[in-house]
Structure 1
């Protein structure tokens, strides 16, 4: 390890919204610690979202209705055949 490289060690990331925590290795640091299941104490970093609470990973993601959005765009800004709207200065 080079002299300027940050320390790389075990850290617990905790997603409070999902009640989930996981132990991994990282260069992130924290002054707060947590007693882990293995009896050791590790730095803990609280995160707002993780794979346990992110809608994409939990299956609660909204699907985008692309066809409806295209039709809405065409009604608002153009013709259905793709030509640009004719206005002043065109």
Structure 2
């Protein structure tokens, strides 16, 4: 690795404000704000809008797509296909 070309890799706390959750990891992210962690050390803290604690995919609260409604809307627009010749000759 070449010297002076890469950002410093250091411990950083990422805080999800929506979920009230924070976790300590290593990152190149920097911040002027700091937080005192459970181990008594002070680390830079980066506030994020969403993390695995609040993202609908990870929490299981994802919206499901109303596929039946889409099918019904398609059938209303283009017909249900009943009574039409499937081969297209008729």
Give TM class, smaller chain.
Answer: 0.7 to 0.9
How does the TM-score come out when normalised to structure 2? 0.77
Shift of 1:80: 4.1
> How far 1:79 moved relative to its partner?
4.4
Alignment correspondent of 1:28: 29
How big is the shift at 1:74? 4.5
User: In the TM superposition, what whole-angstrom CA distance separates every residue of 1:2-59 from its partner, at most 9, and x where no partner exists?
Assistant: 2211111110000111110000011110010000000100000000111111111111
Root-mean-square deviation over aligned CA pairs: 1.5
C-alpha separation between the residues in 2 aligned to 1:59 and 1:38? 31
Unaligned stretches of 5+ in structure 2? 82-90
Shift of 1:63: 1.2
Q: Which residue of 2 aligns with 1:13?
A: 14
Q: How many residue pairs end up in the alignment?
A: 80
Q: Does 1:59 align with 2:77?
A: no
Partner of 1:87: none
In structure 1, list runs of 5 or more residues that go unmatched.
82-90
SS in 2 for 1:67: helix
TM-score, L = length of structure 1: 0.77
